[in-house]
Amino acid sequence: MPTPTTNIKYSEYFTRFSVIIVTGGSSGIGCSIIKAILKIRPQVHVCNLSRSKPDFFLGENGTHLPVDLSNAQALGEAAQSLKARLTHAPKGEVLLVNNSGFGDYGRMPELDIDKQLNMIDLNIRAVVDLTARLLPTMLDRGGVVVNIASTAAFQPTPFLATYGATKSFVRNWSLALNEDLRGTKVRALAICPGPTRSNFFKAAGFKTPPMGRGANKGLDMTSDEVARRTLRAIAKGRSIHVTGWKNRCIAFLGSKLPIVVVTRVGGIILSKMRLEEHRK
Ligand SMILES: NC(=O)c1ccc[n+]([C@@H]2O[C@H](COP(=O)([O-])OP(=O)(O)OC[C@H]3O[C@@H](n4cnc5c(N)ncnc54)[C@H](OP(=O)(O)O)[C@@H]3O)[C@@H](O)[C@H]2O)c1
């Protein structure tokens, strides 16, 4: 089991990683995590998995594997390629960040069911599948599996019903995985960001990102801030981290108040977030 550090100077902690594998590093939180790690450890072997190529330098040892992770066969091929790369990579631990994901705002049954099922494939299936395929190598080398969940994981989320449920899965699965891995050289961490400035809201069908206003006032962060907090949580050996104290209060209330009340209040707040006028 990697020894976590208790002080905030986490840069030294990351020298143990020789390889970092990030899904969805082409934008937003994944992109910020890669950049933050490269700043600390420029020689690390970065491997990004997403459909589009990141438009920034992945480092001298960086690779981009173009893959649609919602496609099980494509994921299997990418994992094979990753495993082959890992056999040639320098000694050291592996950091796997399962970050790719998307949401879809709207009311059932008006939503496109294929998109909802695709979301389940990406937000849930791909996380379990990629982790399972890489774990044997990680158990030999040591490492950390970071799963990007959300504050949406703490209560039902009307109008983002499927998305919130996928993130509850990721949070619970990650915490349980961490227990399964106790006594090994690998641990798991669930990161639960609140509203974060990225492409997420546009991809989810919001007309304008609900940032810095209404119910989200004071909760939103930049993806760089989420990445910084993620790295600190990794170095501190956390098994779960909700980004920011305001988000932590909301997550706490969401999990402690009667679920029927929380769902109703969530429905009222989320119904006010406007949909794009012409959905595809
Ligand atoms: N933004 C927020 O408010 C927020 C809050 C809590 C949690 N999160 C979570 O944070 C994670 C990152 O989201 P973000 O905010 O950074 O949004 P983003 O900017 O839209 O990034 C999403 C990433 O996922 C990748 N992706 C999407 N579909 C994919 C597919 N089929 N196969 C492989 N990769 C795919 C995208 O790359 P390509 O398009 O190039 O494939 C992109 O790099 C997600 O899991 C999201 O649920 C976001």
Q: Does domain 12-271 match CATH 3.40.50.720?
A: yes
Residue nearest to atom 1 of ligand 1 (CA): 196
Closest-lying ligand 1 atom to the alpha carbon of residue 53: 40
195-227 pLDDT, tens digit per residue, is: 999 999 999 988 666 666 665 666 789 999 999
100 lines ligand 1 (CB under 6 A): yes
Ligand 1 mutation target, pool 102, 117, 211, most atoms within 8 A of CB: 102
Q: Which residues pair with 231 in a beta bridge?
A: none
In a 13 Å sphere around the CA of 264, the CA atoms on its Cβ side amount to 5
CB–CB of 46/38 below 8 Å?
yes
pLDDT interval class at 269 (50, 70, 90)? confident
Structure tokens at 87: 């056999």
Is pLDDT of 1 > 60? no
- pLDDT per residue over 117-175, tens digit each? 999 999 999 999 999 999 999 999 999 999 999 999 999 999 999 999 999 999 999 99
Residue 124: CB within 6 Å of ligand 1? no
The answer on pLDDT for 4 being more than 80 is no
Q: Is the CB of 105 under 6 A from ligand 1?
A: no
Determine the Cα–Cα distance for residues 10 and 17; give it in Å rounded to an integer. Answer: 12
What tokens were used for 248?
């932590």
Strands 186-192 and 221-222: unpaired
132 Cβ neighbours under 8 A, 6+ residues apart: none
193 lines ligand 1 (CB under 6 A): yes
CA of 101 to the centre of ligand 1 (A): 4
Arithmetic mean of pLDDT over the chain: 92
CB atoms closer than 10 angstroms to residue 163:
24
Ligand 1 atom nearest to CA at 202: 20
* Helix or strand run (H / E) with residue 63: strand 63-66
